[in-house]
Amino acid sequence: MLTHAQIWSGVDRLAARAGLTPSGLARRAGLDPTTFNPSKRIVDAGARQRWPSTESLSKALAAVRVSFEDFAALATGASTGRSVPLLGFAKAGYDGYFDESGFPMGQGWGDVQFPGVEDSHAYALEITGESMLPVFRPGDRVVVSPDDTPRRGDRVIVKTIEGEVMAKELAVLRPDYILLRSFNPDFPDRKLMAKDLAWMARIVWASQ
């Protein structure tokens, strides 16, 4: 049985896994932004513990596509991780690191351990530069799942036919084009026609 402290620890880790704050996780799930705030976890001047509702927790798990089994592992701190290939973000646009479907291949990859990663084709990218601030900072690592079909609102890695690689939020998904929203307001959003897109994969974890 999960304790009050473990449940809330799991919520915090779930948010961090998605690169979000607890408030951001609540918004992603369509909930009131204060649903998972630390200030709401103890009420009546510390006399009573408040637990997240089953509905709110279910919506949060669905929003970031995490199973309850993985959430339980996050909550208890159990190790469910495995080793995934690691590559610097700046190298991702070079030839020889990905096949035409966006799956990792070739030499030059490092290795890193990540919890809760089930996709056997998952890989990690280490962020460089400031174009993804304030969501991702230089040195952060994101785990990418090429097996997981991105949906609107997901954070994604995209590679163009010309070899440009970028991390952005998928704002619009149409059969003929996609619109990518930049994390950093100093960098423009991007509209890419389907014919110019090599591949797109969902970010499923962020280590910050």
DSSP secondary structure of 28-97: HTTS-TTTT-GGGSEETTTTEE----HHHHHHHHHHHT--HHHHHHHHHT----EEEEEEEGGGTTSTTS
Please state, in angstroms and rounded to a whole number, the distance separating the CA atoms of residues 26 and 117: 22
Residue among 163, 162, 159, 197 nearest 178 (CA): 197
Residue 115 has pLDDT above 70, yes or no: no
Which CATH architecture is the domain 4-76 placed in?
Answer: Orthogonal Bundle (1.10)
Residue 117 has pLDDT above 80, yes or no: no
Please state, in angstroms and rounded to a whole number, the distance separating the CA atoms of residues 121 and 117: 10
134-181 pLDDT, tens digit per residue, is 988 999 999 999 998 999 999 999 999 999 999 999 999 999 999 999
Q: What is the pTM of this model?
A: 0.72
36-95 pLDDT, tens digit per residue, is 999 889 887 667 899 999 999 999 998 888 878 778 888 887 655 568 899 999 999 999
Please state, in angstroms and rounded to a whole number, the distance separating the CA atoms of residues 190 and 30: 25
Please state, in angstroms and rounded to a whole number, the distance separating the CA atoms of residues 122 and 141: 13
Question: Mapping DSSP to helix (H, G, I), strand (E, B) and coil, where does residue 195 land?
Answer: helix
Q: How is the chain split into domains, by residue range? A: 4-76, 82-207
Give the class (CATH, top level) of 82-207.
Answer: mainly beta
